[in-house]
Amino acid sequence: MSPATLVFAAVLQSASPGAPAEFPRGQVIERVVVKGSPGQSYALYLPSGYTPEKLWPVLYMLDARGRALFPIELFRPAAEEFGWILVSSYNSASDTKDDPNSAAMTAMWNDAVQRFSIDGRRVYVTGFSGGGRAAVGVAYALPGRIAGVIGAGAGFEDAQASIKAVPFAYFGTVGDRDMNYYEMRSLEEKLEKVKAAHRIAYFEGPHAWMPPELARESVAWMELQAMKAGTRPKDPAKIAALQSQARARAADLEARGRPADAWAARAYAAEDFRGLARVEEVEDDEKKAAALGSLPEVKTAVKDARRRDARDEATLRTINTRLRNALAQPDPPLPTVLAAELGIPTLRKKAASDTAEERLSAERILANLRAATSFYLPQEMLDRRDPTRARALLSVAAEIDPDNPLVYYNLACYAARAGEASRAIADLERAVARGFRRFDMIDEDADFAPIRGDAAFQKWLAAARAAPPPPGS
């Protein structure tokens, strides 16, 4: 836990009945400025049934790039269905040298408890990527004050650390092509060992917020946890409806010939409704889960998944070692040579495989390499004032995604920082050839300040704006 995360624990105000809301219900309020902190703001959603005469659950949101409206729209249908307040920060961020999330969380929290009637027993936090890690940090810093965390695309603050206790319910989500997929698989096992109230849900996709159906499922799951904990009254009709949906999902997976997924879904149905639904129905789900789990094809699928995970994690360790060793050399190898040493050409071929699991395996490894070579390691090299290695790493990223215009845009940024106008122009031309048309980014990007007055750069930029987009872009 970082010291910055702990600071706000002492200054958060307690929830209490709020004043009559001056905001409309049932629609997203795009921006609310925090009282007394004009630099802090958030998007807001009050369910259409909101009234200050009762207390309401709240979900605070920490997007990795402060895109407050994205998660609030994602969770809005579930918030309306289950009666949750949504408060989403414009100031949250990840991958920064400082910690903006403590200030963002403090500002949102203190402003919301003054304006709205919030149930202090039912405070939840969600976040994407580094925002998800920050959400977990908030829950650990405030034991007993956060009922649950909904994490998207990343797990706990220290992915390598063991877990001893989890004083909150945790619902994690991750895409099957996410760079943090293996981390979330490992987290699931850790949470199982400590018998924490948890669920890890997987979806088809890259490093991203979960799809809308999982956003709803995460809120519904938290509702069930609240009923079990006694922080909200049991609702027999809602329990029956949610149980019916859970059982239908399991039956549908089995009917579609996905017995391993059906096994997990049936086991979740039994676990989630134990103590809430009729004993006979829970026992029926337990029996069906046991039957599915005993099938040879399910046992084989589980064993193969663990084997692939172990193999892929070993591959990633080897790749990271090779990458670090290459960067430690007096003269880093040429990007094409380094890409070959890292196995990028082979991985790209494997990512086009007809075998789904092997294709996903390659895509996840490439996603890790993409993050390392296009962002994290170049930034580390810049911090060391080593632009040569930073550029070499971005050139390796271009070997991973040769058709991605943003890779070449980023290369142009590094050249511009160094005052190399001709090289920046060449990189931008490659970006434009691949469909780049966001010339407003160049206007606003501080990286281009050193060459903004260069005559050749000005001439190129004017011509690029005027030129029609290349065919197929």
Sign of torsion over alpha carbons 170, 173, 174, 176:
positive
The proportion of the chain whose per-residue pLDDT surpasses 90, expressed as a percent, equals 85
- pTM, two decimals, is 0.91
Report which of residues 15 and 269 the model is more confident about. Answer: 269
Task: State pLDDT tens for residues 36-67.
Answer: 899 999 999 999 999 999 999 999 999 999 99
- Quote the DSSP letter at residue 146: -
Candidate CATH numbers 1.10.10.10, 3.40.50.1820, 3.40.50.720, 3.40.50.620; the one for domain 3-233:
3.40.50.1820
Cα–Cα dist 236/220, whole Å: 14
pLDDT band at 119 (very low <50, low <70, confident <90, very high): very high
Query: Does residue 465 surpass a pLDDT of 60?
Result: yes
Query: Does residue 138 surpass a pLDDT of 90?
Result: yes
Residue range 432-442: average pLDDT? 94
Residue 473 pLDDT: 55
Task: State pLDDT tens for residues 148-158.
Answer: 999 999 999 88
H or E stretch covering 427: helix 421-433
Cβ 364 vs Cβ 374: under 8 Å: no
Q: Are strands 169-175 and 148-152 parallel, antiparallel or unpaired?
A: parallel
Residue range 81-96: average pLDDT? 96
Residue range 450-470: average pLDDT? 93
- Cα angle, residue 37 at apex, residues 35 and 42 outer, rounded to 5°: 75
* Domain range annotation of the chain: 3-233, 335-466
Query: Does residue 4 surpass a pLDDT of 60?
Result: no
Cα–Cα dist 353/360, whole Å: 9
Residue range 223-236: average pLDDT? 97
Residue range 301-318: average pLDDT? 95
Give the amino acid at 377: L
Sign of torsion over alpha carbons 299, 302, 308, 309:
negative
The proportion of the chain whose per-residue pLDDT surpasses 70, expressed as a percent, equals 95
To the question of domain 335-466 being in CATH 1.25.40, the answer is: yes
3-state secondary structure (DSSP) of residue 71: helix
How many Cα atoms sit within 13 Å of 251 on the Cβ side? 8
Residue 20 pLDDT: 55
The mean of the pLDDT values for the chain is 92
Q: Which of 210-224, 325-339, 342-356, 458-472 is the most confident on average? A: 210-224
Task: State pLDDT tens for residues 310-323.
Answer: 999 999 999 999 99
Query: Does residue 357 surpass a pLDDT of 60?
Result: yes
Residue range 103-131: average pLDDT? 95
Query: Does residue 3 surpass a pLDDT of 60?
Result: no
Residue 236 pLDDT: 96
